């Protein structure tokens, strides 16, 4: 009954307002659980990051623009953790974000006060257009619309077997995901159809955010960006325990888990790489910066 009602033409203009009401209600309902986390992460950032004021100001700007950090959006605590660690260890960092949204709007505001570079990738044309109208022209931010493609099991396994050339193999692998599946949340082994070598140089990425695509394919970024991630890069993975992302990462990189949150609907992990792994499982390049 409710699904039928949502499809009615007269309901369409009301849907954005109803979604906002629902978000506000959910935020108030979860406030007793999220407030301690919010206070703790804010205090941690103030103690550990010189750019804490600029980061908090960017959150305020997102809120003034009607943005939110609830539901499926990355939480403020996740972004504080990522920003605090990354900015304290690297000046003028280069960041790649897979899966855009409120976090991308946050970066757009942060770029007004801090020098960094962001490449953000989105697959859904409607979501891309809505956000692009708000962030277009932001210096230092490049926003990409790229469709998804799906790999079969053997294609995916081959990327892990040959990570140094995985970005080249990926170009010839997979099949396009139908547009009708763009909004599905349980896609299997799908990732953005892109040529990473045209966007990144070797050892150039200081931080990576994995908030998309939905489903099991986020780990494809590990071999795909194997030559392009700095050996000590920071990686923030949303919904990190929905699939064996960390086990798949451990086949290619050594890493430490710095922060981890396991709240209901808010599960993320911040990692720092400790070097690429050779075929014999030993770390190399771990001293690169």
Interval 55-75: pLDDT, tens: 999 999 999 998 877 666 789
pLDDT of residue 32: 56
Range of weakest confidence among 9-23, 114-128, 143-157, 187-201 = 9-23
Q: Is residue 177 situated within a structural domain?
A: yes
Q: Is residue 192 situated within a structural domain?
A: yes
**What does residue 99 show for φ and ψ, rounded to 5 degrees?**
95, 105
pLDDT at 16 over 70: no
Mean pLDDT of the chain: 89
pLDDT of residue 280: 42
pLDDT of residue 185: 86
pLDDT of residue 3: 59
Provide the domain limits for residue 89. 14-284
DSSP 8-class letter at 241? T
Q: Is residue 8 situated within a structural domain?
A: no
Mean pLDDT over 74-89 rounds to 96
Q: Is residue 133 situated within a structural domain?
A: yes
CATH assignment at residue 58? 3.40.50.150
Mean pLDDT over 153-165 rounds to 97
Q: Is the dihedral of CA 115, 289, 234, 76 positive or negative?
A: negative
Buried b (16+ CB within 10 A) or exposed e, 254-279: bbeebbebeeeebbbbbbbbbbbbee
Domain count, the chain: 1
Using CB atoms within 10 A of its CB, is residue 42 exposed (0-12), middle (13-18) or buried (19+)? middle
Q: How far is CA 232 from CA 144, 165, 256, 289, in A?
A: 25, 20, 10, 6
pLDDT of residue 69: 79
CA separation for the pair 187, 208 (Å, rounded): 21
Q: Is residue 4 situated within a structural domain?
A: no
Q: Is residue 93 situated within a structural domain?
A: yes
Q: Would you call 110 helix, strand, or coil by DSSP? A: helix
Name every residue whose Cβ is closer than 8 Å to that of residue 79 and which is 6 or more positions away in sequence. 55, 69, 103, 106
CA separation for the pair 230, 286 (Å, rounded): 9
Using CB atoms within 10 A of its CB, is residue 64 exposed (0-12), middle (13-18) or buried (19+)? exposed
Q: Predicted confidence band at 4 (pLDDT cuts at 50, 70, 90)?
A: low
Higher-confidence residue of 23 and 260: namely 260
Mean pLDDT over 15-37 rounds to 61
pLDDT of residue 288: 45
CA separation for the pair 79, 59 (Å, rounded): 10
Q: Is residue 144 situated within a structural domain?
A: yes
**What does residue 148 show for φ and ψ, rounded to 5 degrees?**
-95, 150
0.85 exceeded by pTM: yes
Q: Is residue 2 situated within a structural domain?
A: no
Q: Distance from first CA to last CA of the chain, Å, rounded?
A: 56
């Amino acid at each position: 009954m409710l699904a039928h009602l949502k499809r009615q033409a007269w309901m369409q203009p009301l849907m954005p307002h109803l979604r906002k009401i629902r978000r506000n209600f959910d935020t108030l309902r979860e406030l007793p659980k999220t407030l301690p986390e919010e206070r703790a992460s804010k205090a941690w950032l103030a103690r550990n990051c010189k750019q804490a004021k600029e980061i908090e100001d960017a959150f305020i700007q997102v809120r003034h623009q009607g943005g939110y950090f609830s539901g499926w959006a990355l939480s403020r605590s996740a972004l504080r953790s990522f920003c605090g660690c990354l900015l304290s260890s690297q000046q003028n960092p280069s960041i790649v974000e897979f899966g855009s949204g409120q976090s991308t709007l946050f970066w757009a505001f942060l770029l007004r006060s801090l020098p960094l570079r962001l490449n953000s990738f989105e697959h859904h044309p409607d979501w891309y257009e809505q956000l692009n109208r708000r962030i277009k022209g932001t210096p230092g931010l490049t926003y990409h619309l790229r469709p998804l493609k799906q790999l079969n099991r053997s294609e995916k396994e081959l990327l892990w077997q040959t990570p140094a050339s995985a970005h080249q193999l990926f170009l010839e692998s997979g099949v396009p995901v139908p547009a009708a599946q763009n909004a599905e949340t349980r896609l299997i082994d799908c990732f953005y159809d892109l040529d990473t070598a045209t966007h990144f140089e070797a050892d150039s990425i200081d931080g990576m955010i994995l908030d998309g695509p939905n489903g099991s394919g986020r780990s494809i970024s590990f071999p795909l960006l194997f030559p392009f991630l700095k050996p000590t890069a920071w990686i923030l993975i949303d919904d990190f325990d929905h699939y064996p992302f960390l086990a798949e990462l451990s086949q290619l990189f050594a890493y430490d888990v710095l922060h981890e949150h396991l709240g209901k609907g808010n599960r993320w992990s911040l990692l720092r790489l400790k070097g690429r792994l050779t075929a014999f499982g030993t770390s190399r390049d771990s001293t690169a910066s």
